[in-house]
Amino acid sequence: MSIDEKVTIELKASLLSRGINFDIDLFADYTREFYDNQFVYGQTSKGVAPKHRFPQVLLLGEDIITALLRREGSPWNLKIEDNRVNLYLNNHYVREVHLPEKPAYFDKQLSDGTLSQDIIAVAGEDTPGFFFYPDCYYFSEGKPCGFCSMKGTRKSVGKHMVSDFIEEQIVEATKLFQNTKWRDIPLISITMGTCRTDEETRECVIKPIKTIYDALDPKIPIHILAHPPQDFKLIDEFKEAGVTSIAFNLEVFDRDLFEKICPGKHHFYGYDKWIESLDYARKVFGDYNVYCGLVWGLEPPKSTIRGNEYMVNRGIGIASNVFHADPKSVLGKYPHPSEEDILRIARAQSQLYVENPQLGTIFSVSMRSTLDWEIHRGYLRK
Ligand code: SF4
């Protein structure tokens, strides 16, 4: 491990905590091609729309990426100078950062005319997948999770993304990303919204996963971030369809804060049933192939740390997201966690990885709003 990786992870913690202040049109006329934001799950920065060509992520070092959060008032800022993107802290030059390469399977048309980037959702820099059932009835019940901006995003800047998936489209898109010569695809990342009934989950999520699985050649792992079903039998059905690892994100470990921040999950599903669903899934998928995500910054760090220990002791893997206040969400004005809090939770997580060698991360690459992979690589250890 070089010192640079430790510095870079600390830089990432700071950028996630404070965001970056830069002109909203900074990238609109940038002459080089790059992968710009798809607005699949949320809008993380105020007023940013597809016309701004906002990069999906920034590359901070060889293998570390970060979310790009535009926040006025941050001491961090970006300038484009001689076609280079330079990061400054106030007026001090810090380093050049890079923009993500556009996936080679983008800008292609499926046979029904659908653009590939409107159906293939790329997580992080280069992990392809789909976002099935991009809806959640907690919004219509007035009980969305406080940090979630999915509904507002999909009705506005993300409305070009495919919402109703046709079998032929899924087959074609899967073959397209798997057969296009670009980067290795170690895993496919599926995300789903929240269906009101298990029948909808079967129809709109499990069936399409089976379609992906059948189209894959060779077969590769499929991960899904899902809401647990009412009937646990569906967890077996996810596995039978081809899913190899699954995440049910409790988001907030503290019971009282869970009720406040995730009122829909609390009211329509419940904290205890959530834990039971994780335990059930662990029996189906095996130790540490089931993950529970917590959002850093929505509860005191010691509560997140306790939550992670609790999960690991049950054979459940851990996953995290550093809270970002999305403008279209209930917590749009809530502060981000401080750098100190982020690094404190990160160090505790680092210790958990040392003590539990079986414990891995969902993705084998750096992702934008989490430090999981970097911590697992030991970048924080002295
Ligand atoms: S369950 Fe919560 S996080 Fe998931 S889509 Fe609904 S509101 Fe968003």
Q: Over range 339-363, report the average pLDDT.
A: 97
1-15, 78-92, 289-303 — which is least confidently predicted?
A: 1-15
* 27 and 120 co-located in one domain: no
Nearest to 8 by CA among 97, 101, 100: 97
Is the CB of 206 inside a 6 Å radius of any atom of ligand 1?
no
User: What total of structural domains would you count in the chain?
Assistant: 2
* 266 and 153 co-located in one domain: yes
Nearest to 168 by CA among 126, 208, 128: 208
Reported confidence tier of residue 8, pLDDT bands at 50, 70, 90: very high
Residue nearest to atom 4 of ligand 1 (CA): 193
Inside any domain, residue 271: yes
* 165 and 246 co-located in one domain: yes
Q: Which domain holds residue 81?
A: 3-97
Inside any domain, residue 226: yes
Inside any domain, residue 131: yes
* 48 and 145 co-located in one domain: no
Place of tokens 């970097």: 374
Among candidate residues 97, 132, 157, the one where a domain is terminated? 97
Residues sharing a CB contact under 8 Å with residue 333, sequence separation 6 or more, in sequence order:
325
Nearest to 226 by CA among 206, 207, 247, 245: 247
* 143 and 37 co-located in one domain: no
* 27 and 133 co-located in one domain: no
What is the distance in A from the centroid of ligand 1 to the CA of 259? 13
Inside any domain, residue 106: no
* 31 and 167 co-located in one domain: no
pLDDT for res 29: 79
* 169 and 48 co-located in one domain: no
Cα 295 to chain centroid distance, Å, stands at 11
pLDDT for res 229: 98
Inside any domain, residue 110: no
Is the CB of 136 inside a 6 Å radius of any atom of ligand 1?
yes
Mutation to probe ligand 1, out of 194, 267, 295 (largest number of atoms < 8 A from CB)? 194
Residue nearest to atom 1 of ligand 1 (CA): 194
Mutation to probe ligand 1, out of 155, 252, 265, 326 (largest number of atoms < 8 A from CB)? 265
Among candidate residues 31, 66, 97, the one where a domain is terminated? 97
C-beta of residue 32 within 8 angstroms of C-beta of residue 99: yes
Among candidate residues 97, 129, 150, the one where a domain is terminated? 97
Q: Which two tokens stand for residue 90?
A: 């106030």
Nearest to 126 by CA among 84, 71, 189, 174: 189
* 34 and 124 co-located in one domain: no
- Give the residue ranges of DSSP H helices in the chain: 3-18, 137-140, 150-155, 167-179, 198-201, 207-215, 233-241, 255-261, 263-268, 271-285, 301-313, 339-355, 372-376
DSSP 24-74: TTTTTT--S---B---SS---STT--GGG--BSEEE-SSS-EEE--B-TT-
Inside any domain, residue 324: yes
pLDDT for res 279: 98
- Rounded to 5 degrees, φ, ψ at 127 are -100, 110
What is the distance in A from the centroid of ligand 1 to the CA of 23? 31
CATH label of the domain that carries residue 250: 3.20.20.70
Is the CB of 205 inside a 6 Å radius of any atom of ligand 1?
no
Is the CB of 227 inside a 6 Å radius of any atom of ligand 1?
yes
C-beta of residue 67 within 8 angstroms of C-beta of residue 369: yes
Inside any domain, residue 155: yes
Helix (H) / strand (E) containing 295 = strand 290-296
* 63 and 135 co-located in one domain: no
Place of tokens 């926040």: 71
What is the distance in A from the centroid of ligand 1 to the CA of 149? 8
First to last CA, the chain: 9
Inside any domain, residue 111: no
pLDDT digits (tens, 9 = 90+) for 261-303: 999 999 999 999 999 999 999 999 999 999 999 999 999 999 9
Give 40 or 335, the one with higher predicted confidence. Answer: 335
Cα 167 to chain centroid distance, Å, stands at 25
Residue nearest to atom 6 of ligand 1 (CA): 136
C-beta of residue 378 within 8 angstroms of C-beta of residue 4: no
pLDDT for res 1: 44
What is the distance in A from the centroid of ligand 1 to the CA of 77? 31
The CA distance from 306 to 345, in Å, is: 10
Q: Over range 117-143, report the average pLDDT.
A: 94
* 143 and 220 co-located in one domain: yes
pLDDT for res 317: 98
Q: What is the mean pLDDT of the chain?
A: 93
pLDDT digits (tens, 9 = 90+) for 176-203: 999 999 999 999 999 999 999 999 999 9
C-beta of residue 57 within 8 angstroms of C-beta of residue 125: yes
C-beta of residue 86 within 8 angstroms of C-beta of residue 97: yes
What amino acid is encoded at 296 in this protein? W
Residue percentage of the chain with pLDDT more than 70: 96
How many residues are recorded in the chain? Answer: 382
The CA distance from 343 to 297, in Å, is: 11
Atom of ligand 1 at shortest range from CA of 147: 3
The CA distance from 347 to 35, in Å, is: 32
* 296 and 362 co-located in one domain: yes
